[in-house]
Amino acid sequence: MGEILSPILDFLNNILWSYVLIGGLIGLGIYFTIGSRFVQFRFIGEMVRVLTEKTDFRDGKKNISPFKSFCVGAATRIGTGNLAGVAVAITLGGPGAVFWMWIVALLGGATAFIESTLAQVYKIKDSDAFRGGPAYYIEKGLKKRWLGIVFAVLIAVTFGLIFNSVQSNTISLAFENSFGANRVIVGLVLTALTGLVIFGGVHRIANLSSVIVPIMAVLYLVLAAVVLIINIGELPAILSMIFSHAFGLEQAVGGGIGAAIMNGVKRGLFSNEAGMGSAPNAAATSTTSHPAKQGLIQSLGVFVDTIFVCTATAFIILLAPVFQTGNVSGIELLQNSLDSHIGVWSSFFISVAIFLFAFSSIIGSYYYGETNIEFIKESKNAKLAFRIATMVFVFIGSVASLGLVWKMADLFMALMTVINLIAIGLLGKVAFKVLKDYEIQRKAGKNPVFKPSELDIDNTEAWEEEESEKKSAVG
């Protein structure tokens, strides 16, 4: 089956990724950067300040703080893409792929701001929480529910099923490499754990992510810092290698630049998700006084993900002699690279880190799928079927081949990214207007409060309800 699917997937991926790369991610990234007057760089200090804010509104309901919302987004961002994904990018695209991952992140900070701000503008109330995302701003902002449904189906399949098979695949390979674990048994354990959490709802997901993600990210960065300190003298040569392979004549003649760009962008997008339309689903859950706050927080998430975590992985791999042999790829390349730096015990640490990163990604990805299933139709049976399907794909990914799983992920990621880029390209001016409103209020020394009617923005269901509730309380 894999032999039949593989060439078909390669063909479709080449077509879709050419469009996504040239016309979408980089082009719109530049447009949003200029249109927002470099929001991803001007507001770095504000991003940190907003991240540490307490929940703005406390109305007796369960509220998800900006920090927890950030962690739900980070739970899917910081996962196998930062570890195995970077290793795959370097294996297929060479060291130059790292440079293009950086470019995607630097431009993607503006894209992440736009899509997450839009998610907040057009979010809806869902009993004791909020939900939203591209399907919602496509329906309410573009007034095209049919396209919102298409996107909802794609993201439910991409994240809840395909991406979760990637996560479980990486976990099972890591445990097989480090402990000789049987991948079937690993898959069964993962499936059971996934079931325990996803039947608990978004608040359990947020609570779990807010504990796991920060701790493991810090530990992993500390380990990477140790490797850099040990090899500090070689760092200039590694940076030179990255830039020379990104632009070098040798790579241009051999087609290496194309491979570096393609794989750097693919793996960069898989990792930081800027423009893909996934993180806005997490951004919409937060209770905040102004949509721009969540836009800033998710923009910060892109930098943390790629500039810090992905770069740490790239340096660990490129500083090790294992990379030069070309004998291993994926998570095994990272494990073996760390072994050569600081000993065999590090391989065990990576296996544990991969488990926690990837498992939190499975849970976050499931939530993205669930909220879009609810967009299509609120049905307990549909939600139950999706939960069961998620668990099935977690198990399938645990025993599937590495190459086929990643190719499937690339195809579905490209499809949903194309639709989201079209939507945010058309709605970008709404986000620019919201950002300007936020800046004016901040300069006036206020805690910005969003009033959509004053900005001539309609179909903002959650915000209109909030305003009417406040007026009723005053009356």
Question: Which stretch of DSSP H or E encloses residue 131?
Answer: strand 129-131
| Confidence label for 254 from pLDDT (cuts 50, 70 and 90) | very low
Contacts of 29 (CB under 8 A, 6+ apart): 104, 107, 108, 110, 111, 274, 275
User: Is the pLDDT reported for residue 181 higher than 60?
Assistant: yes
Supply 213's token pair: 């993600």
* Predicted confidence (pLDDT) per residue in 47-93, tens digit: 988 887 766 554 444 566 667 667 666 665 666 677 777 887 888 77
Instruction: Please report the pLDDT score of residue 442 as a whole number.
Output: 95
Is residue 433 domain-resident? yes
Instruction: Please report the pLDDT score of residue 430 as a whole number.
Output: 97
401 DSSP 8-state letter:
-
**Cα separation, 290 vs 7, whole angstroms:** 47
Q: Report the pLDDT averaged over residues 422-440.
A: 96
**Cα angle, residue 282 at apex, residues 281 and 285 outer, rounded to 5°:** 95
The pair phi, psi for residue 275, each rounded to 5°, is 95, -10
Above pLDDT 90, what percent of the chain? 30
HSE-up (13 A, CA, CB side) for residue 54: 2
| Confidence label for 421 from pLDDT (cuts 50, 70 and 90) | very high
Is residue 458 domain-resident? no
Instruction: Please report the pLDDT score of residue 149 as a whole number.
Output: 95
Instruction: Please report the pLDDT score of residue 258 as a whole number.
Output: 61
* Predicted confidence (pLDDT) per residue in 448-471, tens digit: 999 999 999 999 988 876 555 555
Say how many domains are in the chain. 1
The residue with greater pLDDT, 284 or 344, is 284
Is residue 387 domain-resident? yes
User: Is the pLDDT reported for residue 104 higher than 80?
Assistant: yes
* Residue ranges in 20-95 assigned as alpha helix (H): 26-35, 39-42, 44-51, 66-77, 86-93
User: Is the pLDDT reported for residue 322 higher than 90?
Assistant: no
Question: Which range marks the domain in which residue 168 is found?
Answer: 2-55+69-450
The residue with greater pLDDT, 29 or 1, is 29
Supply 425's token pair: 């390209």
Instruction: Please report the pLDDT score of residue 471 as a whole number.
Output: 55
The residue with greater pLDDT, 264 or 147, is 147
User: Is the pLDDT reported for residue 184 higher than 70?
Assistant: yes
**Cα separation, 57 vs 54, whole angstroms:** 9
The pair phi, psi for residue 239, each rounded to 5°, is -60, -40
Please state, in angstroms and as integers, the Cα–Cα distance from residue 389 to each residue in 198, 215, 379, following that order.
12, 30, 15
Please state, in angstroms and as integers, the Cα–Cα distance from residue 377 to each residue in 36, 134, 147, 217, following that order.
35, 16, 15, 36
Please state, in angstroms and as integers, the Cα–Cα distance from residue 129 to each residue in 40, 123, 201, 211, 227, following that order.
28, 10, 11, 20, 43
Q: Look-up: residue for tokens 């409103």?
A: 437
CATH of the domain at 237: 1.20.1740
User: Is the pLDDT reported for residue 408 higher than 90?
Assistant: no
Q: Which of 81, 246, 94, 254 is CA-nearest to residue 170?
A: 81
Is residue 269 domain-resident? yes
Instruction: Please report the pLDDT score of residue 320 as a whole number.
Output: 87
* Predicted confidence (pLDDT) per residue in 110-126, tens digit: 999 999 999 999 999 87
The residue with greater pLDDT, 447 or 403, is 447
User: Is the pLDDT reported for residue 146 higher than 80?
Assistant: yes
| Confidence label for 247 from pLDDT (cuts 50, 70 and 90) | confident
Is residue 40 domain-resident? yes
Q: Report the pLDDT averaged over residues 261-284.
A: 76
Supply 235's token pair: 């760092």
Is residue 410 domain-resident? yes
pTM to 2 decimal places: 0.83
Is residue 37 domain-resident? yes
Highest mean pLDDT among 69-83, 157-171, 402-416: 157-171
User: Is the pLDDT reported for residue 159 higher than 50?
Assistant: yes
The residue with greater pLDDT, 473 or 194, is 194
User: Is the pLDDT reported for residue 249 higher than 50?
Assistant: no
Is residue 474 domain-resident? no
**Cα angle, residue 300 at apex, residues 51 and 437 outer, rounded to 5°:** 70
The residue with greater pLDDT, 5 or 49, is 49
Mean pLDDT of the chain: 82
Question: Which stretch of DSSP H or E encloses residue 387?
Answer: helix 380-399
